[in-house]
Every structure is written in C-alpha cells, then in structure tokens.
Amino acid sequence: MSSVIVFLDFFGIAVFAMSGALTAGHKQLDIFGVLVVALIACLGGGTLRDVILGAHPVIWVANPAYLYVGISAAMVVFVLARFVSLPLRTLEVCDAIGLAFFTLAGLQKAQSLGHSADIALLMGLMTGVAGGILRDVLCNEIPLIFQREIYATAAIAGGALFLVLQGLGVAGSVALFLAMATILVLRLTGVFFGLSLPRFLLSKP
C-alpha cells in the first residue's frame, strides 16, 4: 500500500495546488502570490499532520519532489488561465478531488505510523481540509469548511467508510476506491445540487 499512499500524495498535491492557484487568480494576485497560495494549499495539511504525528522531516522536506509537483501544477494553471477561461466551479471540482485523495492519504499515513483508527480518521480530516482553510484565509475568504456546503462531513464519511471496510477485510484497493468515491459524491452533490448542513440561526429578540 506504500505505493498507493505516494500516488495519493502526489495527485492530491497537484490538484490542491491547482485549487490554490485558481483561488489566487480570482483575487488577481501576481505570480509570486499564486505560488505561495498554491503551495500552502497543497502542502499545509500534510505539514500539520506530520508535525503533529512527529513524522520528521515533514513530507516535502524529506522528498522535495512534492514541492516541485505543487509548483508545476500552479504554473500550469497560471499559464493556462491566460488563454482559457477557468470558472470558479473548476476550483470547487479540483478542491473536491483533492479532498478525496488527501483525506485517504492522511488517514493511511497515520495508520502506517501505528496510530489507532480514531487518530487516523482525524489526521485524514486534517490533511484534507487544513490546506484549504489556510488558502481561503490568505485570500480573505470564509473557508469552505465553515460554510453550509457538505465538506468536512464528506471527508469524515469517506474516511469512516474506509476504516469500516478495512475492518471487514475488504481489499485495500477496493476500500480506497469506495471511500474516495463517497467523498467525491457527497462533496460534488453539495457543489452542484446545494446539499448542505443546517445553519445556526439566532432568533431575533
């Protein structure tokens, strides 16, 4: 499964870097700002995870290829946006894909270090959402995780499903596919059909 974890990391980094670049682009930042936001989006969650788990050096220090993948993906978006209109919905789809891949990558990283299922689920959630939170805060946006759309709930549902299937002895690749598909379906349903959690509304005196 180690090769699967590496693939999930690289793919998730590329997609989240694209989402970061798109967010920065909609704020009309320069190329340096685009790269900073993209790298924070794609590496922030994994960095926090590794620091908390004591996995030193953190993933992109141990393997600079992760850094280069993030930079390359951001540059592709930066150049492509000059020739093709990239709607905001593209950002949301990229973010959904990154959420699915990073959640499972983070979960499996925690498992590979010998942590329990509940800690692994929490680390998967952190890996999936922390980079996006930092990205949105830097771009002066309310983070998606705090808005009405299904976001963290999708990551938790997918991660929990993976753990349940794993406990039932389902093949690892099958469990991964079903868990990621669950996250994607829930998140994209929120994006395209407005599925959301109830908001906290204070009644007026």
Distance CA 158, CA 185 (A): 10
Instruction: Name the pLDDT band for 85 (thresholds 50, 70, 90).
Output: confident
User: CA angle 105-196-94, nearest 5°?
Assistant: 40
State CA 127 to chain mean position distance.
6
Instruction: Give the pLDDT band of residue 2 (cuts 50, 70, 90).
Output: low
DSSP assignment of 37-94 equals: HHHHHHHHHHHHHHHHHT-SS-HHHH-THHHHHHHHHHHHHHHHTTTS---HHHHHHH
CB 58 within 8 A of CB 47: yes
Q: How confident is the model at residue 202, as a pLDDT?
A: 58
pLDDT confidence of residue 166: 93
pLDDT tens digits along 19-77: 889 888 888 899 999 999 999 999 999 899 999 999 889 888 988 999 999 999 999 99
Looking at the predicted structure, is the pLDDT value of residue 7 above 70?
yes
Q: Where are the domains of the chain?
A: 2-144
Provide the pLDDT for residue 144.
Answer: 73
Burial pattern 142-160, b for ≥16 Cβ within 10 A else e, equals ebbbeeebbbbbbbbbbbb
Identify which has the larger pLDDT, 38 or 171: 38
- Token pair recorded at residue 127: 């890996």
Residue 88, pLDDT > 80, answer: no
Residue of 109 and 90 predicted with greater confidence: 109
**What's the pLDDT score for residue 205?**
57
Tokens of 98: 């990154």
Per-residue pLDDT of 116-168, as tens digits, reads: 999 999 999 999 999 889 998 999 888 877 776 688 889 999 999 999 999 99
Which helix H or strand E contains 103, and what residues bound it?
A: helix 88-112
Token reading at 110: 């925690």
Mean pLDDT of 84-111: 84
Provide the whole-model pTM.
0.84
Output the pLDDT for position 91: 74
Task: List Cα–Cα distances, 72 to 2, 6, 7, 15, 79, in angstroms.
Answer: 24, 17, 16, 11, 11
